Amino acid sequence: MRRDRPIQLNAPAGDLLSLMAAVDAGADSVYIGFQSPTNLRNLPGLNFSVEDAAEGVAYARQRGARMHVAVNTHPMDHQLEACFRAVDDAEAIGADAVIAADWAVLEYARTQHPHLEVHLSCLAGAADPQAIRFYRERFGVTCIILPRVLSVEQIAAVRRETDALLEVMVFGVLCANYDGRCCLSSFITGASANSIGACAPVEFVAFGESEGGGLRVQLNGVEIHRFAASEQRTYPTPCKGTYANAVTGRRSHVFQDACCLNAMAVLPDLSAAGVDIVKIEGRQRSLAYVRQVTSAWRKAIDALDQRDPLAAGGDGIADLSSITEGRAESLGALAGG
């Protein structure tokens, strides 16, 4: 499938200043969440009031950029109303799209706000053309944010069978588990990441000294990792913990090593596969991080459009290697097998 416009860049914003930085650094769109348990980065001190979001829309629009609002938790019955209000607010401030995963939220957006674009969050886990068809027909979604479980080749196969816009996560946190089906944090803490939008909520995290100058990390009183003194420290989500397996007795990073998704090396392949939008993860990141990552990807995309052979190997990668999580990078599932 041939796109009629260049690949688009979608950047994260955890607050108004980051939004401005992302737009100024060349994002075609930014995505945000409100300050409530309605989106998957519901963290203290992060996210937008409705007023700030309205200002953000105006800033983005004046500069030709779009704004998407994530309402992508799986609310339980008592949380539905808050999610519906978030969709109402997104429409009221003039956002271009809402990003949702739960069927209740998707249906609400479609029936109550038929002019609002609805994008399918990767947390819905739609990795297959038949699943995408269901979401297209039932909820009218126009863009599918693919879960982080597909290779470039598999993405190309999906592309051949759908006319939906396809968005792919290309940089940031690499989740080891199938999107929207990981309850590791919930099992340890009792706080459902799917429903309240926070993995390993900070109020459950405790640090203590470990032998040899290291750092013990507990989540709700459960030890999930011991950082060695020399180890690069990352936010202690359970999937990046170390566990002793009962067969070998060895303690290791069973689910994944602490590393960062960086798909810049396969950007030309993603483009050839017909991906419409590339997405940078990281609403929880600093303004400087958002600016640096967005700018590097902008350069890479522009170089790609100009068929510059340096597209995938330019300064951008060097720029980014210093800020990737754990100082290690991976293509994740995009690498294929």
Angstrom distances, CA of residue 191 to CA of 1, 183, 186, 197, 207: 42, 9, 5, 9, 19
- Based on CB atoms, which residue is closest to other proteins, 256 or 286? 256
Stretch that binds other proteins, among 17-25, 148-156, 165-173, 288-296 (CB under 8 A): 148-156
Is residue 234 a contact residue for other proteins (CB under 8 A)? no
CB of 80 to other proteins, least distance (A): 6
Is residue 210 a contact residue for other proteins (CB under 8 A)? no
Distance CA 19, CA 172 (A): 17
Closest to 297 (Cα-Cα) out of 333, 267, 259: 267
Residues 6-35 close enough to bind other proteins by CB under 8 A: none
- DSSP secondary structure letters along 95-134: -SEEEE-SHHHHHHHHHH-TTSEEEE-GGG---SHHHHHH
Is residue 212 a contact residue for other proteins (CB under 8 A)? no
Distance CA 72, CA 132 (A): 17
Residues 154-173 close enough to bind other proteins by CB under 8 A: 154, 157
The answer to whether residues 199 and 186 touch, using CB atoms and an 8 Å cutoff, is no
58, 206, 254, 272: which one contacts other proteins (CB under 8 A)?
A: 254
- Based on CB atoms, which residue is closest to other proteins, 60 or 156? 156
3, 63, 233, 250: which one contacts other proteins (CB under 8 A)?
A: 250
The DSSP code for 292 is H
Is residue 82 a contact residue for other proteins (CB under 8 A)? no
**SS3 label, residue 204:** helix
CB of 242 to other proteins, least distance (A): 9
CB of 114 to other proteins, least distance (A): 17
Residue 129 phi, psi dihedral angles, 5° rounding: -55, -35
Distance CA 23, CA 13 (A): 10
Stretch that binds other proteins, among 24-32, 144-152, 228-236, 292-300 (CB under 8 A): 144-152
- Based on CB atoms, which residue is closest to other proteins, 108 or 289? 108
Is residue 222 a contact residue for other proteins (CB under 8 A)? yes
CB of 267 to other proteins, least distance (A): 21
Is residue 178 a contact residue for other proteins (CB under 8 A)? yes
Distance CA 119, CA 147 (A): 13
Closest to 76 (Cα-Cα) out of 38, 50, 34: 38
Helices (H), 263-324: 267-272, 287-305, 315-321
CB of 239 to other proteins, least distance (A): 8
80, 287, 317, 328: which one contacts other proteins (CB under 8 A)?
A: 80
- DSSP secondary structure letters along 261-273: EE-GGGHHHHHHT
31, 48, 135, 227: which one contacts other proteins (CB under 8 A)?
A: 135
Any residues with CB less than 8 A from the CB of 281 and at least 6 apart, and which?
Answer: 12, 169, 171, 172, 173, 261
CB of 337 to other proteins, least distance (A): 4
Entry field: residues in the chain: 337
43, 91, 255, 265: which one contacts other proteins (CB under 8 A)?
A: 255
Count of CB atoms within 10 A of residue 329's CB? 20
62, 230, 248, 322: which one contacts other proteins (CB under 8 A)?
A: 248
CB of 256 to other proteins, least distance (A): 6
Applying CB under 8 A, the site for other proteins has a residue count of 68
Residues that bind other proteins (CB under 8 A): 74-80, 101-104, 107-108, 124-128, 130-131, 133-135, 138, 148-150, 154, 157, 175-178, 180-184, 186-190, 192, 194-195, 218, 220, 222-224, 239, 241, 243-248, 250, 252-256, 332-333, 337
